[in-house]
Amino acid sequence: MSDHREAILGRVREALRRPTDPHVRSTSAPATSEPRAWLPAGGDTHDDRVALFAEWSDKLKTSFITVADESQAAGELARIAAEEGWTSVGVHTDPLVQACTGQLTVSQLSTDGGYDPAELEKCDAGITACDALVAQTGSVVLTTASAGGRALSVLPPHHVAIARRDQLLPDLPSAYELLRQRYAAAWPSFMTIISGPSRTGDIERILVLGAHGPKKLTVILVG
Amino acid sequence: MSTPLEQFQHDAAQVAGDGDQRQFLRSSLSGYVTTRRGTQGRFQDYTSARAAAAEIKWNAIENLDKLLPQFADNLEARGVKVHWCRNGDDARKAILGVIHAHGAKSIVKSKCMTTEEIHLNELLENEGFEVVESDLGEFIVQLRGEAPYHFVFPAMHLKRGAINKLFKEKLKSADTDDPEQLTMIAREVLRQKYLDADVGISGANFGVAETGMISITENEGNARLTTAMPKVHIAVMGIEKVIPKLDDLALLLPLLATAGTGQHLTGYNSQLGGPRQAGEVDGPEEMHVVLLDNHRTRLLADQEQRDALRCIRCGACLNVCPIFKNVGGHTYGTTYQGPIGSVITPHLRGLSSWKHLSDSSSLCGACTETCPVQIDLHHHLLRNRRNSAQKQGGVLESLQMRIFSFVMRRPWLYGLGGKLGRIGHVLSRPIQGTKLDPLYKWRATRDFPDPAAKTFKEQWKERRR
């Protein structure tokens, strides 16, 4: 099969040899080059960020739970499991996830080292760690490296993300900064920013949750 | 076969005459405007955010010769096969090649306008593959055998009753008018498709040159499932989607969501760089990126209008456009509707057959005002008009202008014309609105105002007395 790399790059170079017409080149540069000054606010203190994350969770229909420690988190998980009648959950190896799922009496499917998609599809929930929470947008940031792969957080009907206190960041620029620090040497093949459960407005612009991914998103902040 | 212009005029008249449909469109678009206003208000400085986003995209376009190879090299370093495609033919061949190489049978797709541009579904279906659109709106229009009505809200023209009828007929589903139940019917059907599909095809909202990743924006999770479950992932992307840095997304993602759907950030914003890497538990075995030119370099060569390549396909210009509100999305007959479609389609498909789109504009500037990357849309519409007039100035038009200037230079003739016009207006009353009426085309849909009792000149004379 032929590859037209040079043909296309040649056309691009040829096109760019003609400079942009100065009349249409906008020059209105913003006052500062710091995106944080333009974007929605992200919260200065940890308490501000918790409040902001809670506000967004409310809007996005995320269930946001703050707990003092891991044993409380485990209690919350057991409560949800009983309420929703879970029979099996998907998990992955992570100290925080392990500490919080210890009390769960339902069967656990680990995605570590590969899994059967049909089995994961039958799980009532996928419980994952994450890379960060973003107060500015009420989002969970995760990657294949931090959350047991691509599917664990999207295939089961309920996604529970667990985060530690220091993982709550103010805004998107900080989230990308963190990802860069953590992964620039070897990027995972998949990173995502999750804002609320799966949703659609495709029918008469009426909000419906759980279009294809999880119908429920629960975020537990520990500490 | 009718020309694009005739088709446009025919469809526009039909949609504009359907009061119910117009009312429905207007009310859903006004809901969008309200939501968006609130979201925009949460930015600390939306104007600067827009200017900065415009600048990022300007730089990307003007440095495409450097960013494109950087993007492709970084992708390849992570095991992605990059296909450079000059046109739809190249792209269709490349995609078909990958599908054949894997002996694939079923294909699941997440929303991708670039594949609409190259009529991919038609080809794959003709070749005997099962192709399913997984975005709910796309799934609905696919079942109806229609093109997307709006490139962000593909099924916005359909009321729930029509969707119920469609699902009952095609999916044998139970009778329901509830949007939630309708969504769950589609969810059921599509769930199995992700698990069974051999190949997943997606689009890309951005391509990050620095890291070699594509970024996909969505709400439903269908793109995540499409790119997680099948063995092979093919992403189809226009060459203009490349941006320099990963951090640019911190600005572009919220702007795209705000302008596009009035959301603060869409449900899922995912960056994908490669197939499953060593140590990862899932993800496709192979990833392909199809880079499509398809006349984008022709637009790039236009020194005045290349900034139209900055478009991030948020659809905001459609949502505020008075023409779109009246004629709807299908009337355009294009992959990209609304003002941005009217600007770029003549470049992608040829000016002579598509110039009418630039004529069908109120030039009110609402599109330019709303564009999150500051594309000068309404002036581009004017530039298209100018270019088409320069290219093939109409004989009739130039004759009309000659007559006009002849009359205007002779006040007595102008005055006589005015008088005859008044008499004609009275005499034409009986045939008004019928096909005998010389002004039928105008009067069929509008009122022709009665002339004033006295002309300006008459009034002027009287007052000076």
Whether B19 is in a domain gets the answer yes
pLDDT digits (tens, 9 = 90+) for A30-41: 666 788 999 999
Average pLDDT over residues B308-317: 97
Predicted pLDDT of residue B437: 82
- In chain B, what is the greatest distance between 2 CA atoms, to the nearest angstrom? 96
Q: What was the ipTM of the complex prediction?
A: 0.96
Q: Tell me, yes or no, whether B246 and B281 share the same domain.
A: yes
Domain assignment present for residue B307? The answer is: no
The residue among B349, B366, B393 that closes a domain is B393
Q: Per-residue pLDDT tens for B209-229?
A: 999 999 999 999 999 999 999
Rounded to whole angstroms, how far apart are CA atoms B319 and B244? 29
CB pair distance less than 8 Å for B228 and A151 = yes
| Rounded CA separation B324/B326 (Å) | 5
Smallest CA-to-CA distance from A140 within A98, A172, A110 is with A172
Q: Are residues B189 and B261 in the same domain?
A: yes
Quick one: pLDDT at residue B426?
84
Of A30, A205, A211, the CB nearest to B221: A211
Asked whether residue B111 falls in the same domain as residue B57, the answer is yes
- Within a domain: B190: yes
List, in sequence order, the alpha helices (H) in A90-162. Answer: 95-101, 117-122
CA B52 to chain centre: 23
Model confidence band, residue A29 (pLDDT cutoffs 50, 70, 90)? low
Give yes or no for A185 touching B (CB within 8 A). Answer: no
Identify whether the C-beta of residue B58 lies closer than 8 Å to the C-beta of residue A169: no
Strand duo A139-143 + A132-134: pairing:
antiparallel
Domain count, chain B: 3
Q: Assess whether B288 and B332 both reside in one domain.
A: no
Q: Tokens standing for B431? A: 């045939």
Question: Residue holding tokens 């000016």?
Answer: B351
A218 touches chain B (CB under 8 A): no
pLDDT digits (tens, 9 = 90+) for A89-147: 999 999 999 999 988 999 999 999 999 999 999 999 999 999 999 999 999 999 999 99
* pLDDT reading at B447 higher than 80: no
Q: Is residue B310 part of a domain?
A: no
- What pLDDT, on a 0 to 100 scale, did the predictor assign at position A26? 65
Please report residues of A whose CB lies closer than 8 A to that of B221: 154, 198, 211-214
Q: What is the pLDDT of residues B79-98, one digit of tens each?
A: 999 999 999 999 999 999 99
Percent of chain B with pLDDT over 90: 84
**Which chain B residues are within 8 Å of A189, Cβ to Cβ?**
78, 272-277, 280, 283, 287
* Co-location of B156 and B8 in the same domain: no
> How many whole angstroms separate alpha carbon B194 and alpha carbon B227?
9
Per-residue pLDDT at B448? 77
Grade residue B419 by pLDDT with cuts at 50, 70 and 90: confident
Residue B453 lies in a domain: yes
- Judge whether residue B19 has pLDDT over 80: yes
Best of A53, A122, A202 to substitute, by most chain B Cβ atoms within 10 angstroms, is A202
Q: Which of B377, B393, B409 is the last residue of a domain?
A: B393
pLDDT at A2: 54
Of residues B210 and B446, more confidently modeled:
B210
* Helices then strands, each counted (H, E), chain A: 6, 12
Q: Say if residue B201's pLDDT is above 80.
A: yes
| Shared-domain flag, residues B36 and B53 | no
Nearest residue in chain B measured CA to CA from A140: B268
Nearest to A30 among B32, B51, B180 (CB): B51
Cβ neighbours for A113, distance < 8 A, ≥ 6 positions apart: B281
The predicted pLDDT at position A1 comes to 45
Q: Do both B16 and B158 map to the same domain?
A: no
Do residues B172 and B107 both lie within one domain? Answer: yes
The answer on B450 and B331 residing in a single domain is no
Domain holding B409, by residue range, is 400-464
Domain-wise residue ranges, chain A: 42-222
B70 interface with A at CB cutoff 8 Å: no
Which residue has better confidence, B22 or B448?
A: B22
Closest Cα to residue B332, out of B18, B344, B425? B344
Percent of chain A beyond pLDDT 90?
A: 91
Look over chain B and give the mean of its residue pLDDT values, rounded to a whole number. 94
Contacts of A187 in chain B (CB under 8 A): 78, 211, 213, 273
Q: What is the mean pLDDT of residues B154-164?
A: 96
Q: Confidence class of residue B70 from pLDDT cuts 50, 70 and 90? A: very high
Fold for domain A42-222?
Answer: Rossmann fold (3.40.50)
Residue matched to tokens 């991030």: B312
Where does a domain end: B393, B413, B446?
B393
Q: Are residues B220 and B331 in the same domain?
A: no
